[in-house]
Amino acid sequence: MEKITALVLATAVVIAWIAPPARGEVRSFQWKVEYIYWAPDCVETVVIGINGQYPGPTIRATAGDTIRVELENGMSTEGLAIHWHGIRQIGTPFYDGVPFASQCPINPGETFTYEFVVDRPGTYFYHGHYGLQRSAGLYGSLIVDPVPSDAVPFTYDGELSIVLNDWWHRSIYSQETGLSQLGSAFRFVGEPQSLLIEGRGRYNCSLIPAAPSSPPLSGDVMSCNSSRPQCAMHALAVRPGLTYRLRIASVASLSSLNFLLEGHNMTLVEADGHYVTPVEISNLDIYSGETYSVLVTANQDPSRSYWAAVNVRGRRPATPTGLAILSYGDGSSSSAPPSTPSPQSPAWDDFAYSVAQARRVVSRPGFQIPLPERANVRLMLLSTQNRIDGKIKWAINNVSYVPRATPVIAAFQFNLTTAYDLAASPPRDFSRGYKIRNAPPNPSAIQGSGVYTFRHNDVVDVVLQNSNTLVPNNSEIHPWHLHGHDFWVLGYGSGIYRPHRHASTLNFVNPPMRNTVAVFPYGWTYLRFRADNPGVWAFHCHIESHFHMGMGVMFAEGVDRLPRIPAQALGCGYTKALFTAP
């Protein structure tokens, strides 16, 4: 009772919370999120659309602007939250869009207003963060331009932007059910049916009837019609001789991807909103959660078109190449699909190639954010695949993340100490003595909310340590994404990270800053960040099914200085008590 009274008093302060002033303009959007019929790869299915559109509308803003999105949940059967990927939410940790971490889910029929400042130019995106909603198509681009006085260290004549995705015909309900089955009843989502470029792909329609029986005789009957405008190939239109900045993001649910342009090299210039030292590449590895800008010069024969292509990497591919058209000018011959075969990427299991390319991404002189000289906290995060109560889960240091009904940020603000589980504080090293190449012999991992706490301004080193899955001789790529921060990537290596052997191999000279980084099979990735953004931040594998199966942790930092959480973000779990009459 005493606790509830204290919470009711706190609500009065919640209402008084006022957004910090911003330099730029306020850009307002009204979005209604609903399931819609759509045919991304010519096969009609249901996707989550925004205002009747898939992918969602592009947000374009200038650094310093405030984005204000009134988001209505028009889906009558599930909750909703949208994460603004790459935006650090400085001062607004409750608008990060992670249900049960930063807010309560938005209920069917309710409207929630996100309002936050985009403080730094770069290529970003947004996506659903509730259940598997990103896999159902809830995503779009978010591009932040520099203010005119800000130096950009390269020039270009035009801009193009694409989001890459992998696509399934099975609904996310069916996918999720399969992931939750006991023992051998487990059904993995499997390889995608299609790869999409800017929401468009092409399934082989001779495998599925062109028109569904009408009315459908039983359940959903899929139809495939390659003439549907929704699956018309995306075209990147260029003019001869000009140079373009091509922005590329991956929101893939499972696949590591490799992007290439037939007959054209690319110069990598930006990664996750940070300028990098230019590197010439003939194809680009891109992991889910990453963004890049590349410069492309239209210097080939302009009388024909070229393929823009995306292939699966890191898992044995069972999905055809995803294609778009790079067309010169708008003459008809130059915009028809090329007659050449679709371009090939490096072998899917050439991991050495991927590691080498990742190491070539370094910060750009003049645009480096100084690296703190040393960390005062080091966290080893060992990821393992385990069985818990008969179900296949991913665990980090023996804890498989499962959201609990109270947003962790609210649990800290209102001292609801039983509403979350601390992982380990201070963090201990779980990787010592662990044999990463042996399939784990079903150790006793548990489920919990996996919260690690840091003091304000701690400098934290994180070593992400990969291991074998439950399948013998198998280890996978995991792209890890940190909310609320960018981190410096200090290095990648194979085997177990050993300080005495590997510390000297780390890059303290020009480490890139990013918000997403890959951990390679049987390898480790070393990163550093400063806990300077009071909030509760998810840190997780960006593979949709992996996070859903527990591959993530929560970083609660500077919780003694959290800004007041607005009432609209509360109302679930123990925070229901905030709204109970005394």
Residues that bind ligand NAG (CB under 6 A): 204, 206-207, 210-211, 225, 227-228, 265, 280-282, 382, 384, 398, 415, 417, 430, 434, 443-445, 472-473
Residue 315 beta carbon to ligand NAG: minimum distance, rounded to whole angstroms: 17
Residue 59 has, within 13 A of its CA and on its CB side, a CA count of 32
Tokens at 159, concatenated: 């801009």
Closest-CA residue to 289 (of 450, 511, 139, 470): 139
Closest-CA residue to 542 (of 522, 559, 519): 519
Closest-CA residue to 191 (of 254, 133, 258): 254
Which of ligand NAG, Cu ion, none does residue 29 bind (CB under 5 to 8 Å by kind)? none
* CA angle at 137 for the pair 143 and 355, rounded to the nearest 5°: 65
Q: How many residues does the chain have?
A: 582
Residue 383 beta carbon to Cu ion: minimum distance, rounded to whole angstroms: 8
**Angstrom distance (rounded) from CA 548 to CA 550:** 5
**Angstrom distance (rounded) from CA 526 to CA 375:** 12
Residue with smaller CB distance to ligand NAG, 149 or 417: 417
Residue with smaller CB distance to ligand NAG, 152 or 222: 222
Write out the residues near Cu ion by the rule CB under 5 A.
478, 541, 543, 546
Output Rg (C-alpha) for the chain, integer angstroms.
23
Which of ligand NAG, Cu ion, none does residue 415 bind (CB under 5 to 8 Å by kind)? ligand NAG
- Give exposure, 396-431, as e/b (b: 16+ Cβ within 10 Å): bbbbbbbbbebbbbbbbbbebeebbbebbeebebbb
Which of ligand NAG, Cu ion, none does residue 51 bind (CB under 5 to 8 Å by kind)? none
576 residue type, one letter: K
Residue with smaller CB distance to ligand NAG, 333 or 438: 438
Residue with smaller CB distance to Cu ion, 203 or 520: 520
Residue 272 beta carbon to Cu ion: minimum distance, rounded to whole angstroms: 18
414 residue type, one letter: F
23 residue type, one letter: R
Which of Cu ion, ligand NAG, none does residue 282 bind (CB under 5 to 8 Å by kind)? ligand NAG
Residue with smaller CB distance to ligand NAG, 213 or 303: 213
Residue with smaller CB distance to ligand NAG, 153 or 212: 212
Residue 216 beta carbon to ligand NAG: minimum distance, rounded to whole angstroms: 14
Which of ligand NAG, Cu ion, none does residue 214 bind (CB under 5 to 8 Å by kind)? none
Neighbours of 250 (CB within 10 A): 27
Residue with smaller CB distance to ligand NAG, 225 or 447: 225
Give phi and psi for 14, each to the nearest 5: -55, -45
Is the separation of the CB atoms in 29 and 68 below 8 Å? yes
Which of Cu ion, ligand NAG, none does residue 369 bind (CB under 5 to 8 Å by kind)? none
Which of ligand NAG, Cu ion, none does residue 339 bind (CB under 5 to 8 Å by kind)? none
Residue 431 beta carbon to ligand NAG: minimum distance, rounded to whole angstroms: 7
Residue with smaller CB distance to ligand NAG, 366 or 561: 561
Sheet holding 111-117, edge to edge: 45-50, 26-38, 66-73, 111-117
**End-to-end Cα distance, the chain:** 8
Which of Cu ion, ligand NAG, none does residue 543 bind (CB under 5 to 8 Å by kind)? Cu ion
Residue 283 beta carbon to ligand NAG: minimum distance, rounded to whole angstroms: 8
Residue 296 beta carbon to Cu ion: minimum distance, rounded to whole angstroms: 30
According to DSSP, the residues that pair with 487 across neighbouring strands are: 514
Residue 223 beta carbon to ligand NAG: minimum distance, rounded to whole angstroms: 7
